[in-house]
Amino acid sequence: MSTIHDFKVDDWLRRLLPGRCAFCLAACESTAPWCQACHLALPWNLPACPACAEPQPAGSRARRCGRCLQRAPAFDTARVPLRYEGELRGLMQGFKFQASPRAGSLMLALLEDALRDKPCPQALLAVPLHPRRARQRGFDQARWLAERLSARLDIPLVVAQRRRDTPSQRGLDRKRRRGNLRAAFRVETALPPEVALLDDVMTTGATLDALARACHQAGAERVEAWAVARTPLP
């Protein structure tokens, strides 16, 4: 859970180097915490499948990938602005495994900037960790991001539950990931028609797909999947 101290840290980080890029320390011409050169150099997820955000070859036209044509995900669209590679990969590992507030604040700013001028849903849900896993890690990165994004975008935050502590998804293919997560989530609150789900990294989309199914059962009609970065598939 976040504390008042966490939000004070966010404010402190924003004031730490005013007018300086958080990546290269060059002067910034805008109020964003990055310079234009560093922003352009980030691994943007373009083009990408509009349904699942799977990265597509450079120069191609963004269209539904073959997997989504064969089996559409339970969510309607995915908004994942970056690819999990290069400098962003190191930034996200610092956030996920070391709970770096600097890395988390930068990721939050990048996601907020990518969602600017997009229609806001009526509720936001973070992909939940099982309580036992949360105690082991001591840090729930998706919840950390969701609490702050909810406040900044003025979207109500709804808490979902992980019904069972599923084995790690690492090393599993898409089909086995889906089976691993079947009926893994529960949403006890009645949901409004339009909701968004938030995770830090999206790999195959199986976790967000399983949570989207639970959201539909709780009354949601349209579900968007949000994440900071998408893992490029082989």
pLDDT attached to residue 109: 93
% of the chain beyond a pLDDT of 70: 82
Q: How confident is the prediction for the chain on average, in pLDDT?
A: 85
Structural domain containing residue 146: 79-230
DSSP conformation letters of 33-100: SS-HHHHHHS-B--SB-TTT--B--TTSPP---HHHHHS--SSSEEE--EES-HHHHHHHHHHHHH--
Task: Indicate whether 225 belongs to any domain.
Answer: yes
**Single pTM value for the model:** 0.85
CA–CA gap between residue 140 and residue 120 (Å, rounded): 23
Judge contact between 41 and 47, C-beta under 8 A: no
pLDDT of 190 above 70: yes
Q: Is residue 7 in a domain?
A: no
Number of separate domains in the chain: 1
Structure tokens at 129: 């960790």
Higher pLDDT, 234 or 87: 87
pLDDT given for residue 9 in this prediction: 46
* 37 within domain boundaries: no
* 84: Cα separation from own chain's centroid: 11
- Taking the mean position of all CA atoms in its chain, how far away is CA 107? 9
Does 218 map to a domain? yes
Query: In the prediction, which pLDDT does 59 show?
Result: 87
Position 29 in a domain: no
Q: How far is CA 96 from the centre of its chain?
A: 12
Distance in angstroms (rounded) separating the CA atoms of residues 128 and 131: 9
Q: What is the pLDDT of residues 85-140, one digit of tens each?
A: 998 999 999 888 888 888 999 999 999 999 988 899 999 999 998 767 767 767 78
Cα gap 141→118, rounded to integer Å: 23
- Whether 87 maps to a domain, the answer reads yes
Pairing of strands 123-126, 194-202: parallel
Q: Quick check: 17 pLDDT over 60?
A: no
**Residue 94 belongs to a domain:** yes
CATH code where residue 119 lies:
3.40.50.2020
Q: Residue 193 pLDDT > 60, yes or no?
A: yes
At 66 the pLDDT is: 92
In a domain, 168, yes or no: yes
Number of other CB atoms surrounding residue 84 within 10 Å: 22
pLDDT tens-place string over residues 151-182: 999 999 999 998 765 555 455 455 555 555 76
